[in-house]
Structures are given as structure tokens and as C-alpha cells.
Chain A
Amino acid sequence: GENVEQHPSTLSVQEGDSAVIKCTYSDSASNYFPWYKQELGKGPQLIIDIRSNVGEKKDQRIAVTLNKTAKHFSLHITETQPEDSAVYFCAASLNNDMRFGAGTRLTVKP
């Protein structure tokens, strides 16, 4: 089955800097790669996703890139703000079989 690895497990940046979180997946058939943000006491919230037929997608300060050949995808957050502090999860999915990375705790210091 699919195995998703996520790095780093913790990331601390200064407000205004960029943050990058990377994930690799094992099943080349996976075709959908969402990213979730989870704040304390809440469920994961879908923030951006990318399909296997797209290499890059951007939504304001957030962008995701996908390298199908290398089987890795990354989340890029620019101009980070304290409210970006949360745990971020990547996932890889084929049909409804979705596997999650272990999460990255991002701290943005003001």
C-alpha cells in the first residue's frame, strides 16, 4: 500500500520568511495530493491540493509542486504570518484510499 513520508517534523521560521514542507510517496498510481492544516482543537482543514496531471498550483501565499517522476511533492508558504502556525499534513490518494504523512509542526515567530 501507499506510504507517505513527510519532512521536517518541526519547522520554526521568522515572520515574513518562507516555509517549505516536503513529502514523498511510494505508489506511483496515486493521483491526488492534498495538504491539510490542523490548528489546536480542530480537525484538519484542506488548504490546497494538486492532481497528478498538474505540476504546480498556487493560491495566494500557498503553492504546491509535484514531481511525479521522483514521487515527491512540496508545500511552499511565503510571507509567513503567526496565524500560519499549525500542524500541516500531506496526503497521497488513489480513489478513496488516502494515506497521510506524519505531520509538520510549523511555528512562525513574530
Chain B
Amino acid sequence: KAGVTQTPRYLIKTRGQQVTLSCSPISGHRSVSWYQQTPGQGLQFLFEYFSETQRNKGNFPGRFSGRQFSNSRSEMNVSTLELGDSALYLCASIEVAGYYNEQFFGPGTRLTVL
């Protein structure tokens, strides 16, 4: 089956703008997590969605938001972009296997804020 799809792959924005990133999980997976990856901070958890509901949220400001649609596709939005928001944004498709949940990552969206 197809893997995790993230669009766009690359994005360049300027400070103050907003951006929307999209993630389509693996078919049949109903849960999605978003991460921010930077050289200095590593992989940091943003939020997790399951069946259109946000189940968990990381320690990011309110400028970072997300949502999930009925077909499990998810979007994340960053408003009022700052230079420090430049990062690789990764979406993980989660296979809920009872007690243990495996996460499969997409290729990411590389966001550059100028």
C-alpha cells in the first residue's frame, strides 16, 4: 500500500506570512502525528490527531495548529511565521495496534522562512 504523502515538499515563505502543510496517512490509519525537526532541537512533537480529534499536543505556541478530516488526511497551519520556524515538518501515520502504536513517517515538508 502507498506510504505517507506530504505536500508540498519544499516551501519558502517570508516572516509574518502563514503556511498550510498537508499530510495523507497510510490507507487505513486513522491517527496522525506532526513533528518539527531542526538541527538544534531534534525531533519535537507538535500534535496528534485521531478520528478528527486532537488527542495530544506538544509545547508549541498557538501559532501552530492542525486539523484532521474525515478521510484521515491532516493539515497543519503556522500563522505569523518567524525565522525560527524554518524546519523540516514531518507527519507520521500511526498504526494503532492495541498496546503499541507504530509510527511511519512521510518525507517531510522543508519550510524556509526568510
Query: Is B31 among interface residues, defined by CB-CB distance under 8 A?
Result: yes
Contacts of B56 in A (CB 8 A): 96-97
* Interchain CB contact (< 8 A) of B42 among A45, A49, A97, A100: A100
Contact with A43, one of B33, B48, B105 (Cβ below 8 angstroms): B105
On whether the beta carbons of A96 and B100 are closer than 8 Å, the reply is no
Which of the listed residues B6, B43, B56 has the most CB atoms from chain A within 10 Å of its own CB?
B43
Contact indicator A96/B31 (Cβ below 8 Å):
yes
A-B contact count (CB 8 A): 51
In the bound complex, residues from chain A placing their C-beta under 8 Å from that of B64 are none
Give the residue of B4, B6, B43 whose beta carbon is less than 8 angstroms from that of A100.
Answer: B43
Chain A interface SS verdict (over half): strand
Please determine whether B45 and A46 come into contact, CB atoms closer than 8 angstroms. Answer: no
**A103 & B100 in contact (Cβ 8 Å cutoff):** no
Asked if A96 meets B102 with Cβ closer than 8 Å, knowing A43-B108, A103-B42, the reply is no
8 Å CB contact of B100 from A32, A42, A44, A45: A32
Contact across chains for B48 and A96 when beta carbons are under 8 A apart? yes
Q: Which residues of B contact A31 (CB under 8 A)?
A: 99-100
- Is chain B's binding surface mostly helix, strand, loop or mixed? strand
Bound complex: CA A98 to CA B90 (Å): 14
* Contact B102–A46 (Cβ < 8 Å): yes
Chain A interface residue count, CB cutoff 8 Å, equals 23
| Chain B residue with the shortest CB-CB distance to A102 | B42
- Please measure, in the bound complex, the distance between the C-alpha atom of A30 and the C-alpha atom of B48, giving whole angstroms: 18
When chains A and B are docked, how far (Å) is the Cα of A51 from the Cα of B102?
11
Chain A residues within 8 Å of B94, by CB: 96
What residues of chain B lie closer than 8 Å to A93, measured between beta carbons? 100-101
CB within 8 Å for A89 and B102 given contacts A43-B108, A96-B31, A96-B94? no
A49 touches which of B33, B102, B106 (Cβ 8 Å) = B102
Q: Is B45 a contact partner of A99 (Cβ separation < 8 A)?
A: yes
Binding site for B on A (CB under 8 A): 31-32, 34, 36, 41-46, 49, 51, 89, 93, 95-103
